[in-house]
Structure 1
């Protein structure tokens, strides 16, 4: 797994440096080990190895400063810094979903199941400008580690990415299929280079 994360992230970064250097510049260096440790301690859950490995390659983007040009995965979700992950988790899980969350870190629903409120076993990893977040689902079950989309008005729903590795692999593959053709409208979910030279997802 580690080598596949390394390879796919190198593929993404190589594409960004060639096609959208302004977006490549928004990706922060690897997360400091002490920040990763602080976040793991704050969450109190065993985090997926591919997530920890990804944090060892980058520490998200400064989405509050560079949000117009910041790197995002398909759908327009910007990776959070490791410090922001624990802050967002603390904020969102302050009022856990009564239909799922139980004392002692137990949950009524399995990984991948929809929730209306915020389940405290969802670890936010990316956020959109509309307030939605992508989160890794750490509830037990066959879908443990699946990426969930959560929004205050709609709750949490599973999306096709089964884990971090799948999310990054899909991102790299979409970038690899990029072909500038101004006369042809881009397909939904395809990469587009904006007038400012930044990466945009159609």
Structure 2
């Protein structure tokens, strides 16, 4: 499928089964906003990443009712920019200590042990963990990975945004766990439990 098709499946499922979650996701921002945020990161974004923000603009209020991914809610573009800036600044010394700018030349998907400017955040959870798209070059360019506390960039991984959406929507449509997380509905919003 495609990002567009899987987002439509996910959104339609939420409209029918979890309308509060569906309502918590903002409509897409204008293309000029996507261009502006992309430029602020100094990275060329993969087409799927640009498409993702052309379909929705995350959960601007940070309401817990927008957990469309297990444990994670999508970030709006303004938060993408601020989280990206704060994370690259916070991890700058570590980045320098473990390889500096040369880490940007490593293939996408390779663990760097730090937060790189090539990592574009797309979702977060209440612990401050992130899902990000790795924009480095290579056959895994555009993969989605997790950045989680002391484990830094060694978290979960999907080959693309489309693959992430496909896995989540298949879990919802068929009622089976997604990487151990079980979807449930509570008063109109999607909730994920880890038994």
Give the TM bin, normalised by the shorter chain: 0.7 to 0.9
1:89-131 deviation digits (Å, cap 9, x = unpaired)? 111001331214317xx62533212232211211111101111
Q: Which has the higher helix share?
A: 2
Partners of 1:161 and 1:7 lie apart in 2 by: 17
Structure 1 length-normalised TM: 0.85
Match of 1:189 in 2: 181
4+ aligned runs moved over 6 Å, structure 1 = none
Match of 1:141 in 2: 138
SS at match of 1:120: coil
Match of 1:102 in 2: 101
Match of 1:71 in 2: 67
Q: Which runs of 5+ in 1 are unaligned?
A: 180-184
**Deviation of the 1:83 alpha carbon:** 1.3
**Deviation of the 1:188 alpha carbon:** 2.5
SS at match of 1:93: helix
Partners of 2:127 and 2:106 lie apart in 1 by: 26
Match of 1:31 in 2: 29
- Conservation of the 8 A alpha-carbon contact between 1:146 and 1:163: yes
- Conservation of the 8 A alpha-carbon contact between 2:167 and 2:178: no
SS at match of 1:59: coil
Partners of 2:88 and 2:140 lie apart in 1 by: 20
Counterpart of 2:147 (choices 146, 150, 153) is 150
- Conservation of the 8 A alpha-carbon contact between 1:121 and 1:137: yes
Structure 2 length-normalised TM: 0.87
- Conservation of the 8 A alpha-carbon contact between 1:36 and 1:82: yes
- Conservation of the 8 A alpha-carbon contact between 1:146 and 1:158: no
In structure 2, relative to structure 1, the CA distance for the partners of 1:33 and 1:60 (3 Å cut) is same
Match of 1:14 in 2: 12
**Deviation of the 1:86 alpha carbon:** 1.1
Partners of 1:63 and 1:116 lie apart in 2 by: 30
* RMSD between aligned residues: 2.2
Q: Which runs of 5+ in 2 are unaligned?
A: none
Flag the structure with larger Rg: 1
